[in-house]
Chains A and B, each alone.
Chain A
Amino acid sequence: MSEPTTLGSELTRALLERLTALGDDELVLGHRDSEWTGHAPILEEDIAIANVAQDEIGHAVLWYGLVEQLGGPDPDRLAFFRDADEYRNAALVDRPRGDWAFTMARQFLFDAYEAELLPRLERSSYAPVADAAAKVRREELFHLRHSALWLERLAHGTDESRRRLTAALDELLPLLPGLLAPLPGDAALAAAGVYPEAAELADAVLARVGAALEAAGLARPTLEPPADAAGADRRQRPDGVLAALLAEMQSVARSDPQAEGW
């Protein structure tokens, strides 16, 4: 294990932003997945989606834990006491649950993104990030196998499943660049070898997604890599979807100012 990079204050600030965004993506996606618990199409898949939800939320705890180590708030503070305008997740993960095709398509896009992100993060010069990435990657292998299986089956299932899958992708694919867009501090992190270079990562993810869609007999989308400034995407919440999600998620935690813990 290499010595952890000593981060200056600028890099620390940038890394805090990035780790928060990583955690927020995982938490919000896990939250959406957890909405299926008890309502999935069949018992076995109910168990499977609850597993994915636990994994993603567990990953959020890992990333938030690194925020805390760098002097930030603790994970519960981050999750339950920030408002929507302070969250840094991509819009892709906070869209409402939708049907099973939407959930599996979204999960596939996120899993494909992580399949490219995590091996790169394992080479981070900041050892705690590399270690956390290794843990997350272990679980993501199964996620990708599961969501890719569904993508392929729904594409070649019935007319209805193909129609629903296509509709889901039509809504989701335009949001993929927002997931890949760099945050303002990412370039500095990339220069220090802490975080992968945004454009190279985006190209790899888009190539992987395009190839998988093509293999499933779906139209290969024309996806433009995100513009540099698109990281701002993560802060724009014009439609109140995230705010509504958080209002429910945080309702009990914020209900009792005298409570010292739950």
Chain B
Amino acid sequence: MTVTDRDPLAHEDPRRLAEFEARIAAGEKIEPGDWMPSEYRRQLIRMISQHAHSEWVGMLPEGAWITAAPSLRRKLILIAKVQDEAGHGQYLYHAAETLGATREEMVDALLEGRAKYSSVFNYPTLTWADVGMIGWLVDGAAIKNQVMLAGCSYGPYSRAMVRICAEETFHHKQGQEMVRRYAAGSPAQRRMAQDALDRWWWPAMMMLGPHDSDSPNTPLLKRWGVKVKTNDEVRQEFLDEHAPELLEAGLSIPDPELRFDEATGHWVHGPIDWDEFWRVVKGDGPMNAERLAARRQAHEEGRWVREAMAAHAARAASATGAVPA
């Protein structure tokens, strides 16, 4: 099977490759230490570290509203939610570390602009209602993806996803609760909710990735049980769940071609502006520079802190004659 012009498997031992693929076909999980094709390792490090970066960068758009959350409960919820995103990044970096990547390398790749992260976090959060809309739409879309990845063939990635899914439902629900309340609230709250939907609908649809025809990695990743569904399949699940709920909340979805197809039982959306998607992925989104600048600033301002702790640990270890961890 040729999946790209240059077969990334050409150099692999055919017997080992066949054993590996048989294990995946049998539903076994691959664990660190097991034999795996170098392309499997490479693709996983790419996917998992991008996913980790997305969580870490994804703290910023919503985090910006923590200090203005309009009730004590909303403030607590938002801190807990953004904190969970740090936690999810932490779990994912751990999963990538089991493949031999170090967190130092991954952080460096992000800060130097060599790594990608989800395009959706390069849009600005302009009003408080954006926090709710991100929870409902962006986390709603993320959950669809994460539920799929919880079944992935690589043990550590699957485990991180199972843990993340268990926590992420709260993110979705608190967003839903907010937006529904504002959609039924004061005139200003209703306007705020609709405006947020107008701006976040398409970024959320896009964040599930390019059409299958433009997603060169998908066939191999499906064959190896890393992705269990295609981008379009996951996007369809998201659409079928969210379109009727948003309409029921009294909001209008900014897609004139959106309709329910009685024959298939599925919702059908209009064309996605993929030019915008690729522009944002490649670094030209409205907030790319700001997001990376914020990450770099925190990293640089934290450097002396990390160094002080390391110095303290080294001194304590040499004092006791212990070997530092």
Contact = CB atoms under 8 A, between A and B. Distances in A.
B16 to A, nearest CB: 35
A13 interface: no
A252 B302 contact: no
A41 B86 CA distance: 12
Interface in A118-142: none
Contacts of A251: 68
Interface residues of A, number: 51
A51 to B, nearest CB: 7
B298 interface: yes
Contacts of A252: 68-70, 128
A167 to B, nearest CB: 13
A153 interface: yes
Interface string A21-51: 0000001000100110111111111110011
B93 A158 contact: no
Contact of A262 (B74, B301, B303, B312): B74
Given A50-B82, A100-B302, A164-B304, A58 B76 contact: yes
Chain B: interface secondary structure? Answer: helix
A258 B188 contact: yes
A99 interface: yes
A54 B80 contact: yes
The winner among B71, B79, B311 for most chain A CB atoms within 10 A is: B79
Contacts of B56: 43
B67 A248 contact: yes
Contacts of A154: 308
B305 A161 contact: yes
A57 B79 contact: yes
A256 B188 contact: yes
A54 B305 CA distance: 23
Interface stretch (B150-158, B179-187, B228-236, B281-289): B179-187
B258 interface: no
The winner among B69, B82, B308, B315 for most chain A CB atoms within 10 A is: B308
11 contacts: A34-B75, A38-B298, A39-B63, A43-B90, A47-B83, A76-B72, A100-B302, A158-B304, A256-B186, A258-B187, A259-B185
B59 interface: yes
